[in-house]
Structure 1
Amino acid sequence: MGITWQDSLLLILKTTSQILTAGIAITAFSLLLYALTFNLRDQVARSFAVIMLCVVIIFTSEAISSISTQIAVLDFWGRVEWVGIVLLPPSYLQFSDTVLSTTGKVSRWRRRWAVRLTFLASLVFLAALPFPSIFGYLVTDRPPAPHFTISFLTDLFTIFYLVVMALAWFTFMRALRRTVTPTSRRRMIYLLFGAAAPALGGFPYLLYGSEIAAQHPLLFWSVSVLTSLLVGTLIIVMAYAVAFFGVSWPDRVVRARLFKWIMRGPVTASFTLTFATLVRRAGEMYGNATYTAAVPIVMVGTVLLFEHLITVFGPLAERFLFYGRDSESMELLHLLQDRMLSRDDLRQFLETVLAAVCDQLQAPGAYLASLNGDQMELVVTIGKTRFEGKQVSNALSALMAQKEDFPQLFQWGDDLLVPITNGEEEGKFQLLGLLGVSQMAKLPADEEQSAALTLLTERAKLALRDWHLQEQVFKSLESLSPQVEYIQRLRAAGSYDQSNVLEESSNLNGDLTQWVRDALTHYWGGPKLTDSPLANLRVVKDAIENHEGSTANGVRAILRAAIERNRPEGERRFTGEWILYNILDMKFVEGKKVREIASRLSMSEADLYRKQRIAIEAVARTIQDMEQETYHESLDH
């Protein structure tokens, strides 16, 4: 007897359900990692991560059970699945409580004890889970899928599940009513809809509906497929709403980051699993081995294809979905990022220019110095010159100070110097740097050499001018960044509780950076440390108490902790990634001199001072974050 269309449809639905179940597990695990990576400090994100962990346990166990036929394996994974189911209600209640707390309704003793009691009740159910006589036996010989029998404890758990979920949804509704702004209210609605996914998808419906499911298998598997699609979609909606909690990034950054995470993680992994499963099932249908060589080929090909598509079309999707009316401004920022002239780029280009100068003039060496403030900074050398390595020439700086007007070409000892100037208004010229040619006792008499030198000087001028303009842009961004970040913090703080705007503004004093700078200058003792206004911050007050009332030790401990938070991971190095930390540690903690630090970090003193200012601002922002953490911890307690 051949296979009927009902059997074929049933097989397709069952396979689709298995793939979707595994896809939900993959998605939940990916979103769990996202919450732990980007939102770990926020209590809402931490509670969301616990729910995602329960979802991972439930759907991973169900996916493994769906492809196994051994009774022992089915029983083990069936009870593991129940671990996630049992922990889901208290996790939901805790999540709803943290969401309500975010709106300004701080968790008092009743809500706090309700969460604790539900977790305690879940532990009781978990303790009974290994005993079939108490929690039920596994049924494997009745369609449509393996399930556990009903017992008194499972009935009691069902009541517990429904009551706790009802309390959680009541708390969610209270949080929704407390939101005021249209944006926060819209996201809270997204959160409510998304939060329905684990509650609907996590309950074991076969516990009570196995008879109906056995009589109507097509209906059961159709509903299972639709439910899985709904659960997977709503989990992403829930993650989208949670992604905005506890972060001060602009909305477009949050959306773009989550979009990339989902596309490169759950979407790619789910499609890879889908195609691999289809290839394996096709092999089974045609009598081949379950695992063929085509499976890894399809998996690798799918991953590479999706990564390629995401790389090519991802930026277009971001521009269309997230930039909105700011698309032109964002395009300029991306253009600046992609075409930024780095120090290595500048050095490589100028080395090419100097090599061409040496070739045209038959000179043994050449060098180029850039004007940095009132000093000449040697940028690059090639061949034999009077300079050793990349040390800054005091002689060039002195020469520049002696001359008010530079001729087009002039001799400096045995070297030929070519001023690099930038034309300005009223016939005045701004000196950008000097191009020197070693051992050129006389000016080039050949017209071709003169023309080549003029052209190459123009090339160097173009690079130096763009470099100076780029530095001005960066300085503007550096001065603007603290204010923009402060506005973003206020916006994030007041999204769900407008009183946080006042609290945030009272904590974040505009003089914080100056306080940090003063305290660091007297890091090992002095009035700027002992009398620092930083002592008025909550986090510093706690540190002072921990140091037996010593203001100096308390402030110093917080400064040290803030510096360490800016330390990159891994072993200490003297690379670009470590510059800010090395400056802070060497300048203020170790007390080394500026010249020694500049020499050790291979930078000019002017560049060191600029980086030092950025490093101090980073410490101030870190202390600002620590103060907010202390404030939120005080609310939790």
Structure 2
Amino acid sequence: MEGLLNSFLILGNETLASAIVIMAASLLLYNLTRNLNDRVARASGILLACVTATYVVDVFILLEPSRQTYETALRLQWIGIGYMPAAMFHLSDALLATTGLPSRGRRRRIGKALYLLSTVFLLLAAFSDLLIRLIPYGQWISMRAGPLFPVYTAYFAVAVLVAFANVQRARQRCLTRNTRRRMGYLQFAMLTPAIGTFPFAVLIPPGDEFSTLGLLLVNIANIVVILMLLFLAYPLSFFGSRVPDRVVKVELLRFLMRGPATGMLALGTILFVAPATRILGLPGQAFLPFAVVAVVLLWQWFTALSLPWLERKLVYTDDDYEQLDRLQNLSERLLTRADLIQLLEANLAAACDYLRVNTAFVADLSDASPELVATVGPTKPSTVLLEEEREQLLALFESDGNAVHQWHSYWIVPLYSTRAGDTRKAQVLIGCLGVQARSAEIDLLPDEWQMLRVYVRRAEQTLDDMRLHSDILAALEGLLPQINLTRRSAANVEFKPGRTATREPEFFADREQFVEQVKAALKHYWGGPGLTSSRLLELNIVRKALAENEQNPARALRSVLARAIENQRPEGERKMTSPEWTLYNILELRFVKKAKVREVAPRLALSEPDLYRKQNQAIQNLADTIIRMEKEYLSRQANGTPESSSPPSEGPAEPAASLAIEPEQAHERRGR
């Protein structure tokens, strides 16, 4: 009976140790892939790597390797055991720095000394018996304390106590209840991996760690370590995150259920199916693959069903859930431009089949530059022809907006937007639908005319939706960058002020967010929330430009953008295809003159994907220029240097001169 119990406990120990490896490795990858640039995430990654290294050896030993490999693995296990105290101190120092108390050099030097000391202990354990001795005990090998093990024990205790004290100091610096609670979780949860990796087996008589009581205590300790790793993952996931707390919780919940939970269920199936099938007299190896696949599929099905309910119970309030549900419905109902073009092409194909022609098209005439949106067939009209005869088409539709008209080798019908009203006078011409003329005269039969009106109505709705979606996306491009309450900015109210304060605007610390602000302002250069609601209005150089722009904030920001764009202009004569002029030409054509990608790409001899890549590079360079202009202004103010009425700019100020155009006049110049 005792042998059966021991076998069960050994199997349980193997399962739990493997689960710890899965959990620690998963959390390590989760933190590093999300917050690699955050110091707390990197320090916690070292701690989780120590846990993983320690328990990987425990799992490997249960595979019954050879005696020499067994001994080598036990000594290499000190990679995790030896570096754990230094990792604990490193994490506590990172937490303290996050709350506004960075090291002035002393803690940094102590951390380096601890890593050096840990390396010494690792070398002693790997290549000598001064720290540990390995004694054979039946099929096992027992680890015994060497002469220097008390020194390591003292080092471990002191490092862990100092780390605990540092986290206590960090907790006292938290100003909000939530951050104090999370820091409290972290303060005690981070002790568990350290205690779980400490080699307590060297302190008991040889062989007792393999007894029934020893195995039972080890299993209980492993369960506690798994639970504490979960508690450790929760507060750590908030550090360095740039999304709201709600999103952090949802991402962590989804990751735990779809990642570590799936892995542990698959592992448990592998470990327990074979013994169970032997008891039931089934062929275990043949049944195992089907059992693993069945468990994984059923768990994923359960996760898909239960996640919405768990998120609603554990994360959201009722009001939050309703608001987010509306936003999710919006994202599901919005179609991309490619989706809408696909619908138009399907509609045109159906029209061609019914009217027995091989070409049809839909053109957008709402802009000064007509666009061929969708086509079917080989004989489509050219964009140049549409641009040259746009006025004639408008006059043709104005004479009779309900008829089919002959135009070159096509029969065309006007398309109207009905969002402005229900009457024909309130409708706005947005485009036209054309089909290949099958005869010199329009000879549509009554049923063909009726079906053509159906296709026209579908095209009107689709083209109208495309315009509406473009407006929604344009508004989002301007508004989303202004929603900047990230975890980074929240730290200013969650923790006490640090030793030093920065004089730079807060969003300078987040370059990615600043670039998004600049991008939104450029997209709404001639008006829109990206310009009028931009956080760039807080810049000192923008405030100074108010006096030169009739106290109009939007015009002041536009003038700063124009000067920054001019600073990208190379010296010499402008060339459209010259590489050194490419970035300036993109900024000037795409945002100041509002030219479309399909117009700019051939002028600059670029493919459209290459144009988008270089446009992103140009925006980043422009953001760096604005940051430099702001810092130079602050430096002059601090030094009391007199300043001219306007910051110097390089090259002629063509875009700056165009700022005199009022938004109402500029509206006609906007592209899509």
TM-score class, shorter-chain normalisation, is: 0.7 to 0.9
1: CA distance, partners of 2:182 / 2:393: 61
Which residue of structure 1 lines up, in the alignment, with residue 162 of structure 2? 167
Which residue of structure 2 lines up, in the alignment, with residue 273 of structure 1? 267
Which residue of structure 1 lines up, in the alignment, with residue 105 of structure 2? 109
1: CA distance, partners of 2:623 / 2:306: 36
1: CA distance, partners of 2:503 / 2:76: 47
The answer to whether the 8 A contact 1:181-1:495 is kept is yes
2: CA distance, partners of 1:514 / 1:235: 38
Shift of 1:436: 1.0
2: CA distance, partners of 1:65 / 1:585: 63
Q: Deviations over 1:386-419 (max 9, x none)?
A: 425x778313533355468361123323422211
- Equivalent AA in structure 2 for residue 466 of structure 1: D
- Equivalent AA in structure 2 for residue 44 of structure 1: V
The answer to whether the 8 A contact 2:364-2:373 is kept is yes
1: CA distance, partners of 2:246 / 2:371: 40
Which residue of structure 2 lines up, in the alignment, with residue 44 of structure 1? 40
The answer to whether the 8 A contact 1:361-1:444 is kept is no
Shift of 1:164: 0.7
- Equivalent AA in structure 1 for residue 352 of structure 2: C
1: CA distance, partners of 2:478 / 2:256: 34
The answer to whether the 8 A contact 1:493-1:501 is kept is no
1: CA distance, partners of 2:373 / 2:206: 82
1:64 maps to 2:63: no
1:35 maps to 2:31: yes
Give the 3-state SS of the residue equivalent to 1:419 in structure 2: strand
Shift of 1:437: 1.7
Summarize the alignment of residues 294-309 of structure 1 with structure 2, pairs less than 5 Å apart.
294-309=287-302
2: CA distance, partners of 1:418 / 1:319: 50
The answer to whether the 8 A contact 1:384-1:438 is kept is no
Give the 3-state SS of the residue equivalent to 2:101 in structure 1: coil
- Equivalent AA in structure 2 for residue 195 of structure 1: M
- Equivalent AA in structure 1 for residue 431 of structure 2: G
- Equivalent AA in structure 2 for residue 447 of structure 1: P
Summarize the alignment of residues 250-265 of structure 1 with structure 2, pairs less than 5 Å apart.
250-265=244-259
Match of 2:185 among 181, 190, 194: 190
1: CA distance, partners of 2:299 / 2:384: 49
Shift of 1:512: 7.1
- Equivalent AA in structure 2 for residue 507 of structure 1: F
- Equivalent AA in structure 2 for residue 106 of structure 1: P
Q: Deviations over 1:116-139 (max 9, x none)?
A: 221121122122112443123223
Shift of 1:254: 2.0
Alpha carbons of 1:391 and 1:80: their partners in 2 closer, same or farther (altered >3 Å)? farther
Match of 2:386 among 393, 396, 400: 393
The answer to whether the 8 A contact 1:586-1:597 is kept is no
Which residue of structure 1 lines up, in the alignment, with residue 314 of structure 2? 321
Which residue of structure 2 lines up, in the alignment, with residue 21 of structure 1? 17
Give the 3-state SS of the residue equivalent to 1:411 in structure 2: strand
1:89 maps to 2:89: no
- Equivalent AA in structure 2 for residue 416 of structure 1: W
- Equivalent AA in structure 1 for residue 149 of structure 2: T
Shift of 1:367: 0.7
Q: Deviations over 1:584-626 (max 9, x none)?
A: 69937999982516885469xxxx89x9988766667799999
Name which of structure 1's ranges 42-51 and 274-283 shifts more when overlaid on structure 2: 274-283
Give the 3-state SS of the residue equivalent to 1:375 in structure 2: coil
Alpha carbons of 1:117 and 1:514: their partners in 2 closer, same or farther (altered >3 Å)? closer
Which residue of structure 1 lines up, in the alignment, with residue 636 of structure 2? none
TM-score normalised over the length of structure 2: 0.73
Which residue of structure 2 lines up, in the alignment, with residue 525 of structure 1? none
Which residue of structure 1 lines up, in the alignment, with residue 436 of structure 2? 438
Name which of structure 1's ranges 466-475 and 411-420 shifts more when overlaid on structure 2: 411-420
Give the 3-state SS of the residue equivalent to 2:157 in structure 1: helix
The answer to whether the 8 A contact 1:47-1:98 is kept is yes
Q: Deviations over 1:175-222 (max 9, x none)?
A: 0000101222222122223212211211111111346946x9333323
1:358 maps to 2:352: yes
Name which of structure 1's ranges 233-242 and 36-45 shifts more when overlaid on structure 2: 233-242
1: CA distance, partners of 2:44 / 2:628: 23
Alpha carbons of 1:18 and 1:511: their partners in 2 closer, same or farther (altered >3 Å)? closer
1:179 maps to 2:177: no
Which residue of structure 2 lines up, in the alignment, with residue 573 of structure 1? none
Which residue of structure 2 lines up, in the alignment, with residue 507 of structure 1? 508
Alpha carbons of 1:511 and 1:269: their partners in 2 closer, same or farther (altered >3 Å)? closer
Q: Deviations over 1:547-586 (max 9, x none)?
A: xxxxxxxx99x99xxxxxxxxxxxxxxxxxxxxxxx9699
- Structure 1: 5+ residue stretches without partners: 520-532, 537-554, 560-582, 628-637
Which residue of structure 1 lines up, in the alignment, with residue 470 of structure 2? 471
Which residue of structure 2 lines up, in the alignment, with residue 221 of structure 1? 215
2: CA distance, partners of 1:625 / 1:81: 49
TM-score normalised over the length of structure 1: 0.77
Q: Deviations over 1:39-89 (max 9, x none)?
A: 110111000110111011000001111332632222111112122101000
Give the 3-state SS of the residue equivalent to 2:129 in structure 1: helix
Identity %: 28
The answer to whether the 8 A contact 2:482-2:517 is kept is no
The answer to whether the 8 A contact 2:240-2:487 is kept is no
- Equivalent AA in structure 2 for residue 476 of structure 1: A
